[in-house]
Amino acid sequence: MKRIFAIALALIAMTACTTNTRTNPFFEEWNTPFGIPPFEQIEESDYLPALEEGIKQHNAEIDAIVANTEAPTFDNVIAAYDQSGHLLAKVAGVLFNLAETDNTPTLETIVEKATTLVAEHGNDITFNKALFEKVEAVNKQKSSLGLTREQEMVLDKVYRSFADNGIALDEAGQARMKEINTELSVLGNRFGNYLLKENNAFKDQFGVAISEYRDVMAQLEDRDAREKMYHAFAARGNNGNEYDTKEIIINILKLKEEKARLLGYDTPAAQILSDKMAKTPETVDAFLANIFQYAVARAKEEVKDMQAMMDADIRDGKIKVGTKIKPWDWFYYSEKVRKAKYALDEELVKPYFQMENVRQGVFNTASKLYGLQFEKIENAPKYHPDVEAFKVSDADGSLIGVLLTDYFPRESKRGGAWMNNIREQYVTLEGQMVRPIIVNVGNFNKPTEDTPSLLSIDNVETMFHEFGHALHGLLSQCHYATVSGTAVARDFVELPSQINENWAFQKEVLTGYAKHYQTGEVIPDELVNKILAARTFNQGFMTTELCAASILDMKWHELASVEGVDIVKFEAQACKEMGLIDEIIPRYRTTYFNHIFNSGYSAGYYSYLWAEVLDKDAFELFKQKGIFDPATAMSFRHNILEKGGSEEPMTLYKKFRGAEPDPDALLRARGLK
């Protein structure tokens, strides 16, 4: 998943001094490989002064657009707006990345202040009536301007950023909208910080990182210990302590509801979905309901298989008579079923999935598909010793961008996996191409003194997934930052990431990177065949928990009011109404659902399934033509990965595929239909 900081990049970097003895690194050009931030030179005290100066400079650039006496044109309004805010984006690209990956108590305080400053600055722009009048003037004449399709999309996106955020409100309405936007930014950041504290408390209690929970539960024989760990895992944010998230959630939802009403919508879901591919909550609800019926039916069959395994343990006297499968049993007994059905023991697979080898397999796949080359940048600046940097080049040797990888958990890093932009791709007004700097973040097992980082099957899939996002950012060939890279509709952004997962376990890919960390032996065909045979195993559970979380997200955002709503009771009722079986909980329960309360997936978690329809349908073409067919790969690169948001998503997809996606492609791929 990508965390987007939506401030456009600018034309010229400016300099200023903060003290008589030392220059703030943000006020200098970075004389580093490919412009990687000089992380080791940046001090925490540098951020706020640089951010404040960035806002000052951005305001001056906006004022210049407004003060221009020439007739409004695309170049002097829209392009100038797209190119503004360079210093601000430079600071934010570093600061907000570190807030998620290497936080400190001091940085946490800085980020809370910075979040307020940036939100207020965004409000000042969004409600700048004089600026909007310029934008509107260009928009009214767009059909006669001879714009490229990308320029039309940029204009539309800029215009909507004003129109859809309350520029037409009266003075009181605009003032209130500004307050709402700022409060939402602060509360979202606080939610993320609280969840980090809860995740660390879980690790302190059990010695298990949140990212390791599923793997540990699959191997933990002690049922009482499993139950205890499950309850602690599922209660994060709901412990009644100082980091309980329920009050924050209610306040976030109240603000979203008020914002939707101000903009003329009945619910937050209706407002949020208005510019997405799905368009309406009803479309999303029907989409999820269709998938859920197939998923939960399969999950019920999986429960029967696991119960049979549990009954064998009852007969052996390992557990008491009459014991039934509970949520804390799922990973343990599903692993037993997998071993019995496919003779696939994950612990026998992990030695072949050394992190560095898997990453090389990811790189090799991109090389074979898109002609990319990867070269480690020795002695590159880094914000943490775990970070590694790679120069990414095209087949002709030209620079594509820089990739930073940060794969190991630590207490200062939030859980999960994601892609971030430190610098977006764009073209300056002088025609200079600026190439991106991308970060891939994960929380995989950290190496020990005796053993390297060994990944689970899920970890491998996650690395391929996040690298798909990285490809979307790296390969971007847009002119304008407003639409470059992953700046696309939320329910389209997961297509590049999810389709990349499809290569992870193809036999010819596996045998290239899966080598035993001790012997160097290539993974044997027997084990490869077992992995492939088990690819649709447990998909009832996997799809049900994902779909349940998506439905829960929609249920919250389809409310017109949360006044008096009890979070725990509402979630329980939502799960009952959707038909969720007792043995499964949503992938994310409300109190630790970071995606929808802090990461831009509000009324959007369905996007993973929506994009999977596209990715499975697209990969069927690869399977027909050959998974490394050059023409198909280059078509996907040119029509999807390079285009960003420079065209409507479905138009891009049909240019690649030649038709709209088959909605049953997801069900077929998951073995559900």
DSSP 280: S
| Measured distance CA(389)–CA(377) in Å, rounded | 5
Sheet holding 418-423, edge to edge: 373-376, 388-393, 399-406, 437-441, 418-423
List C-alpha distances in Å: 196 to 200, 258, 296, 384, 601. Answer: 6, 28, 31, 18, 18
Length of the chain in terms of residues written: 673
Q: What are phi and psi of 11, to 5 degrees?
A: -85, -50
Residue among 374, 359, 656 nearest 504 (CA): 359
Query: What token pair was written down for 289?
Result: 């309901």
If one counts every other C-beta atom within 10 angstroms of the C-beta of residue 469, the result is 26
Specify whether the CB–CB gap between 327 and 584 falls below 8 A.
Answer: yes
Specify whether the CB–CB gap between 299 and 578 falls below 8 A.
Answer: no
Listed in sequence order, the residues at least 6 apart from 594 whose beta carbon sits closer than 8 Å to its beta carbon are: 191, 192, 195, 414, 416, 588
Q: Pairing mode, if any, of strands 418-423 and 399-406?
A: unpaired
If one counts every other C-beta atom within 10 angstroms of the C-beta of residue 427, the result is 16
Listed in sequence order, the residues at least 6 apart from 335 whose beta carbon sits closer than 8 Å to its beta carbon are: 218, 219, 346
DSSP 41: G
Specify whether the CB–CB gap between 158 and 65 falls below 8 A.
Answer: no
| Measured distance CA(341)–CA(451) in Å, rounded | 29
List C-alpha distances in Å: 422 to 82, 146, 453, 464. Answer: 17, 33, 26, 20
Sign of CA dihedral 325, 329, 334, 335: negative
Q: Which residues are catalytic?
A: 466
| Measured distance CA(553)–CA(93) in Å, rounded | 28
| Measured distance CA(534)–CA(528) in Å, rounded | 10
Q: At what angle do helices 567-578 and 539-557 cross, to 10 degrees?
A: 130
If one counts every other C-beta atom within 10 angstroms of the C-beta of residue 240, the result is 8
- Helix, strand or coil for residue 76? helix
Query: What token pair was written down for 117?
Result: 């400053």
| Measured distance CA(533)–CA(531) in Å, rounded | 6
Q: Pairing mode, if any, of strands 399-406 and 426-427?
A: unpaired
| Measured distance CA(233)–CA(244) in Å, rounded | 14
Q: Alpha helices, DSSP H only, in 8-77?
A: 47-67
Listed in sequence order, the residues at least 6 apart from 282 whose beta carbon sits closer than 8 Å to its beta carbon are: none
Q: Which residues pair with residue 389 across a beta bridge?
A: 404
| Measured distance CA(627)–CA(219) in Å, rounded | 35
Listed in sequence order, the residues at least 6 apart from 202 whose beta carbon sits closer than 8 Å to its beta carbon are: 208, 210, 232, 233, 236
Specify whether the CB–CB gap between 252 and 558 falls below 8 A.
Answer: no
- Helix, strand or coil for residue 484? coil
